[in-house]
Structure 1
Amino acid sequence: MARTKEFDPDAALRSALELFWRRGYEATSMADLVEHLGIGRASIYATFGNKRELYLKALDRYAEHRDAALLAELSAPGPALPAVRGVVRRFAAESTAEHSRLAGCFVTNTAAELAPHDQAAARRVELSWGHIETLLHSALVRAQAQGELPAGRDPQGLARMLLVFFQGARVVGKASADPGRVRDAAEQMLTLLD
């Protein structure tokens, strides 16, 4: 008869995500995970696989939750351009908020730490960025169709520009103690939507 798990795998994955997000992949040891999750090494391996597999599952979880929230923001009924502006300002605020600034974005952190030499991590980063770009593009196309965005603007180019801004804002916000740097850049970015 198979033993039942003595821990909640979903809660353990959330806990692993928190630790990886705060410390990064390389700086998190298996011993750190055992201590932080409060479960044995064998249970971690049996449920999630090795450290890399656990990290990738945590990254998937992060992207699922973050992308769902972004979808809800950008696809709400009504005018689309205020939603896009709200997302830009939210990213800027989150990038400079003291409680989240030092952690940065888990996808951005993965892009910098693992993507250059880990194909599975790089694929997940590209999928996440592609999804964000698609959500932004759809909202901007809708804004243009509703007359909120001038006809001469390129929704695809703007979506890519915003994606790159979001990633850069996360890096600058994490490394800089000057929140005005990101906020001012966000406001300048928004003038391109006029």
Structure 2
Amino acid sequence: MARPSEFDRDEAIASAIRVFARHGYEAASTSDLIEGMGIGRQSLYGAFGDKRRLFLEALRRYSDGSLALMNEALAGGSPREAIEAALLVGLGDAEDLETGCLGVGSIVEFSRTDAEVNALNDAAATLVVAAFAARVKDGIAAGAFDPGLDPQAAGRMLLTLRSGLKVAARGGAGEDELRQAARLALRGLS
């Protein structure tokens, strides 16, 4: 009979996200993960199987959390205000490397070489584009955005911008600089 886990799985995954965000998948050693998660080697393998399974679970959890933050931001204010808020929420920063975007990091690290990572990132991207496209449609209906816009194309552009903003934040861009970039893009929707 298996022994019950002696750690909080949610906390362990949150800690693994930070380790993978700091180091990336390949460079995160088992020792880094054990230390960062505060669990033993046997617990890591018993609970998660291996480093790869842990990474996939961490990526899934990160993507779900990031989408929840975006959806919360998209729910408030005018379409323009909501999109700006969603572009800027949870970007991370250069001072805390553990706040980096696990999704963008995995795309850079794996490119299109891993089917499971691709599937997770593609599903997350589809949801982000749909969420942005819905608010773009709201903006068109309200007369705030160009009626000739393709909401799906605008949603893809906003996803690309958000990914770039995450990289810029990790590279040291400040809040004002990031907000200016978001606002410039939003002017293009008018």
TM-score normalised to structure 2 length: 0.87
Name which of 114, 124, 144 aligns with 1:128.
Answer: 124
Aligned residue for 1:37?
37
Asked if 1:5 corresponds to 2:5, the answer is yes
The separation in 2 between residues aligned to 1:105 and 1:36, in whole angstroms, is 17
Identity of aligned residues (%): 32
The gaps in structure 2 that reach 5 residues or longer are none
**For 1:29-68, what aligned pairs fall within 5 Å after superposition?**
29-68=29-68
Cα offset, 1:191, TM superposition: 1.1
Letter in 2 for 1:161: M
Distance 1:183 1:2, change over 3 A: closer
User: How big is each residue's C-alpha offset from its partner over 1:51-97, in whole Å with a ceiling of 9 and x where there is no partner?
Assistant: 01101100111111111121122134x63232112223x25x936x4
The separation in 2 between residues aligned to 1:62 and 1:37, in whole angstroms, is 15
Aligned residue for 1:171?
167
Contact preservation (8 Å) 1:115, 1:125 = no
Distance 1:100 1:146, change over 3 A: farther
Asked if 1:87 corresponds to 2:86, the answer is yes
The separation in 2 between residues aligned to 1:99 and 1:124, in whole angstroms, is 27
The separation in 1 between residues aligned to 2:122 and 2:170, in whole angstroms, is 21
Paired residues, what number? 189
Asked if 1:150 corresponds to 2:146, the answer is yes
Q: Secondary structure at the match of 1:94?
A: coil
The separation in 2 between residues aligned to 1:154 and 1:132, in whole angstroms, is 16
The gaps in structure 1 that reach 5 residues or longer are none
Aligned residue for 1:22?
22
Q: Secondary structure at the match of 2:121?
A: helix
Letter in 2 for 1:81: R
